[in-house]
A and B are shown apart, each in its own frame.
Chain A
Amino acid sequence: DVKVTQSSRYLVKRTGEKVFLECVQDMDHENMFWYRQDPGLGLRLIYFSYDVKMKEKGDIPEGYSVSREKKERFSLILESASTNQTSMYLCASKTGGTGANVLTFGAGSRLTVL
């Protein structure tokens, strides 16, 4: 089975800190995604990447950046964390190209910013 691993399940940070959320997948998937999940708002796409060093903005990129230096790793960066970034962050990956492709999700990283 495809495995998507988010190394930090729970984080507590202070306002203004720089935060790194790491995601690693082990199935050579081209595409990787970062979503933010909030009650009543569902999942909203922050950034995605369809190749190494490539990135595309999603629906809510403000306040976030990403890094994809290796195919298997996609990092989400909060340059200066704010309380409104307290949320559940979900990483996902899938194969690229057209056709029947399915997202596989990690277990999530719950971030609290104080």
Chain B
Amino acid sequence: AQSVTQPDIHITVSEGASLELRCNYSYGATPYLFWYVQSPGQGLQLLLKYFSGDTLVQGIKGFEAEFKRSQSSFNLRKPSVHWSDAAEYFCAVGGSNFGNEKLTFGTGTRLTIIP
């Protein structure tokens, strides 16, 4: 069965500092990987996705993530966070036959930004 682990429940960083959010997945075949962000009281917005090709993917809002097959990881990074990045972040995994399969989400990491 597919699964996603986000080991950090809550992370606090200073504005302007770098950020890395961890994500480990379990999937028996080639995974499709996603990062979503949820601002308070809102639905989820896609930050970036990995399907194939270059293992470093760029997303919106200056985020990037790197797929490492050997470590089953897909960590999210940003070189310099802004106060508006405070939100909850979800990693998710789906299969290459994702068309009619479900997407499995991690439990989320809440990001707090301090001035």
Contact = CB atoms under 8 A, between A and B. Distances in A.
Interface in A12-68: 31, 33, 35, 40-45, 48, 50, 58-59
Contacts of B41: 107-108
Contacts of B46: 102-104
A31 B99 CA distance: 8
A36 B113 CA distance: 27
A97 B42 CA distance: 28
Given A42-B90, A102-B34, A105-B45, A97 B99 contact: yes
A107 B106 contact: no
A13 to B, nearest CB: 20
Contacts of A111: none
Q: Chain A contact residues (Cβ within 8 angstroms of B): what range?
A: 20 to 34
Contacts of A50: 99-100
B43 interface: yes
A95 B106 CA distance: 22
Interface in A83-99: 90, 92, 95-99
B61 to A, nearest CB: 16
A55 to B, nearest CB: 12
A58 B44 CA distance: 19
B51 interface: yes
A114 B106 CA distance: 29
Contact of A98 (B34, B42, B97, B103): B97
Contact of B102 (A33, A95, A108): A33
Contacts of A108: 41-43
Contacts of B99: 31, 50, 95-99, 101
Contacts of B98: 98-99, 101
Contacts of A58: 102
Interface of A: 4, 31, 33, 35, 40-45, 48, 50, 58-59, 90, 92, 95-108
Interface of B: 6, 9, 32, 34, 36, 41-46, 49, 51, 90, 96-100, 102-108
